Amino acid sequence: MQSAKETASNVAASAKSGMEKTKATVQEKAERMTTRDPIQKDMATQKKEERILEAERQKQEAREHNAAARQTGGGLGEGYTTGTTGGTTGGSWP
């Protein structure tokens, strides 16, 4: 049961990471289209790459946290995270 919860939390963390990466790419494209300055275009690309790395870091942290929660055997549904700022999923699993 706990491995299914861990897997679900990991899938959610991956989905969130993917959305953040997509947002970063779209924002970079918009910024690059609105400027002619090559320096600002490079800055937009750099911001995108930083956001992508941050999203990946948060996903990895969530996976590590979920693995640790599984190993410690926290209560039902407690201790798993999706990598959001809301913390854990908390839990009143039946």
| Amino acid, res. 3 | S
What are the residue ranges spanned by the domains of the chain?
A: 2-71
pLDDT digits (tens, 9 = 90+) for 53-77: 999 999 999 999 999 988 887 554 5
Q: Please say whether the beta carbons of 20 and 55 come within 8 A.
A: yes
> Which tokens sit at 30?
């918009």
Residue scoring higher pLDDT (6 or 86):
6
pLDDT given for residue 2 in this prediction:
62
